[in-house]
């Protein structure tokens, strides 16, 4: 077998694995949009028509696009994802995203698995990958192309959701294989850096975790920089590279998403939500909410409930 035949065979095997996984996941999608699985941290997504760009926070996860296409805007980057592409986030990343290719006959389908940076760090050390390339930039999203091995590991994880009694015994084993396949991918060096202790993202992530728990309080850059063990200017630069935004804007996003969640889940009014997430001025809250979500709080929440 020559080199070109080997490449063609690998491509064929990868496409077969992709089509098989897409078919299985689609059967698990009993409704449009997000579908929870029996396995904590594993979700399926289906959409039968393109949607409008919307603001969202991606938790630390890997998402694999199985059919259709998606666009994500992160900072100045406009990223397109097609079947077989994946993206990985290492922190709660604020983005704008929407599905651009989907139909009833061929819907957009993807799977999302929450990732554990500590487990990634442990596996990268075992594989001798604990020292990332110093040239790797600390950004919040990486992308790659799913290998046949990665797709097959996900297929086994999805199949496991049909056997709930086996989940406690096998889920971590299969997830560990998925992490190894990710570390072997073109996103592996980036992942090694994000998971490594002492890498320059570690301090920023520590400050981010604090900010996520204290977003209601007034923001002091000096305090966050001290938590990250960095000078204020260095912290600000690395924070923006990692999150695509400034600390103040990130805090604002946390507040607005929290307020939206309060209005949707607890059915509080906009005034109550604004105060509970830390706003002193309700008119300011309404202005900033409208800029982020494209409509005033009350109208946006009514629209969201009708979806």
- Structurally, at CATH architecture level, domain 3-195 sits in Sandwich (2.60)
Residue 266: CB atoms within 10 Å: 10
Name the class of domain 249-306.
Answer: mainly alpha
What's the alpha-carbon Rg for the chain, to the nearest Å? 21
Q: Are 61 and 97 in contact (CB under 8 A)?
A: no
Report how far residue 300's alpha carbon sits from residue 273's, in angstroms, rounded to the nearest whole number. Answer: 14
The whole-number pLDDT of residue 133 equals 55
Question: What is the full DSSP assignment across the chain?
Answer: --HHHHHHHHHHHHHHHHHHHHHHHHHH--SSEEEE-SSTTEEEEEESS----EEEEE-SEEEEEEESEEEEEETTEEEEE-TTEEEEESS-EEEEEEEEE--SSS-EEEEEEE--HHHHHHHHHHTT--S--TT----SEEEEE--HHHHHHHHHHHHHTT-GGGHHHHHHHHHHHHHHHHHTSTTHHHHHHHHSTTSTTHHHHHHHHHHHHSTTSPP-HHHHHHHTTS-HHHHHHHHHHHHSS-HHHHHHHHHHHHHHHIIIII---HHHHHHHTT-S-HHHHHHHHHHHHSS-HHHHHHHHHH-
The whole-number pLDDT of residue 21 equals 94
Sign of CA dihedral 160, 165, 168, 170: negative
From first to last of its 307 residues, what are the pLDDT tens digits of the chain? Answer: 445 444 455 656 678 889 999 999 999 999 998 999 999 999 999 999 999 888 888 888 999 999 999 999 988 788 999 999 999 998 888 888 999 999 999 999 999 999 988 888 888 888 776 565 554 566 788 899 999 999 999 999 999 999 999 999 999 999 999 999 999 998 888 888 777 655 567 788 889 989 999 999 999 999 999 999 999 999 998 898 888 889 999 999 999 999 999 999 999 999 999 999 999 999 999 999 999 998 999 999 998 887 6
Given this chain, do its domains 202-245 and 249-306 carry the same CATH topology?
A: yes
The whole-number pLDDT of residue 238 equals 87
Report how far residue 88's alpha carbon sits from residue 135's, in angstroms, rounded to the nearest whole number. Answer: 19
The whole-number pLDDT of residue 303 equals 87
Q: Are 38 and 164 in contact (CB under 8 A)?
A: yes
Sequence-distant contacts of 8-11: CB under 8 A, at least 24 apart: 10/148
The whole-number pLDDT of residue 5 equals 47
The whole-number pLDDT of residue 80 equals 96
The whole-number pLDDT of residue 20 equals 92
**Domain positions in the chain:** 3-195, 202-245, 249-306
Query: Scanning the structure block, which residue is given the tokens 């059967």?
Result: 27
Name the class of domain 202-245.
Answer: mainly alpha
Query: 33: exposed, middle or buried (C-beta count within 10 Å: 0-12, 13-18, 19+)?
Result: exposed
């Amino acid at each position: 077998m020559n080199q070109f035949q080997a490449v063609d065979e690998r491509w064929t095997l990868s496409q077969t694995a992709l089509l098989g996984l897409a078919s299985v996941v689609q059967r698990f999608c009993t409704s449009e949009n997000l579908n929870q699985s029996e396995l904590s941290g594993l979700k399926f997504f289906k959409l039968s028509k393109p949607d409008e760009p919307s603001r969202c926070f991606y938790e630390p996860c890997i998402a694999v696009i199985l059919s259709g296409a998606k666009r994500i805007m992160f900072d100045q980057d406009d990223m397109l994802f097609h079947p077989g592409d994946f993206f990985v986030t290492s922190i709660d990343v604020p983005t704008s995203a929407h599905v651009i290719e989907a139909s009833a006959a061929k819907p957009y389908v993807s799977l999302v698995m929450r990732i554990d940076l500590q487990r990634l760090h442990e596996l990268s050390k075992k594989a001798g990958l604990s020292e990332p390339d110093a040239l790797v930039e600390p950004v919040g999203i990486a992308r790659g192309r799913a290998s046949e091995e990665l797709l097959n590991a996900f297929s086994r994880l999805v199949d496991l959701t049909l056997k709930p009694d086996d989940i406690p015994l096998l889920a971590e084993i299969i997830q560990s294989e998925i992490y190894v396949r990710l570390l072997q991918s073109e996103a592996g060096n980036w992942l090694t850096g994000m998971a490594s202790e002492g890498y320059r993202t570690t301090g920023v992530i520590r400050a981010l975790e604090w900010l996520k728990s204290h977003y209601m309080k007034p923001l002091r850059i000096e305090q966050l920089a001290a938590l990250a063990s960095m000078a204020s200017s260095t912290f600000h630069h690395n924070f923006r590279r990692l999150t695509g935004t400034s600390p103040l804007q990130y805090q604002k996003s946390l507040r607005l998403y929290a307020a939206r969640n309060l209005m949707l889940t607890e059915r509080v009014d906009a005034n109550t939500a604004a105060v509970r997430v830390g706003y002193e001025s309700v008119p300011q809250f309404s202005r900033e909410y409208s800029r982020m979500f494209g409509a005033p709080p009350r109208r946006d929440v009514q629209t969201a409930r009708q979806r």
